[in-house]
Amino acid sequence: MDCSLLAAGIDWDAVRVPRSIGVCCLDILGGRSAAVVEDPRESALYWFIATGASAGWDVAQTRPLGMTQYLVVPPLHRVAGPGLHWRIRPAEGRLITDVRALRVAVEGTIGPLVPPGTKPPDRPPAA
The pLDDT tens digits of the residues spanning 73-115 come to 999 999 998 999 999 999 877 999 999 999 999 999 997 655 5
Burial class (CB in 10 A: 0-12, 13-18, 19+), 3: middle
pLDDT at 33 over 70: yes
Please give the pLDDT value at position 93: 78
pLDDT at 34 over 80: yes
Confidence of residue 121 (pLDDT cuts 50, 70, 90): low
Scored b (16 or more CB within 10 A) or e, 7-28 reads ebbeebbbbbbbeebbebbbee
Please give the pLDDT value at position 91: 83
Handedness of CA 95, 84, 86, 57 (dihedral sign): negative
Please give the pLDDT value at position 112: 62
Question: Would you say 76 and 45 are in contact if contact means Cβ atoms under 8 Å apart?
Answer: no
Residue extents of the structural domains in the chain: 4-110
pLDDT at 116 over 70: no
The pLDDT tens digits of the residues spanning 8-31 come to 999 999 999 999 999 999 999 999
Confidence of residue 117 (pLDDT cuts 50, 70, 90): low
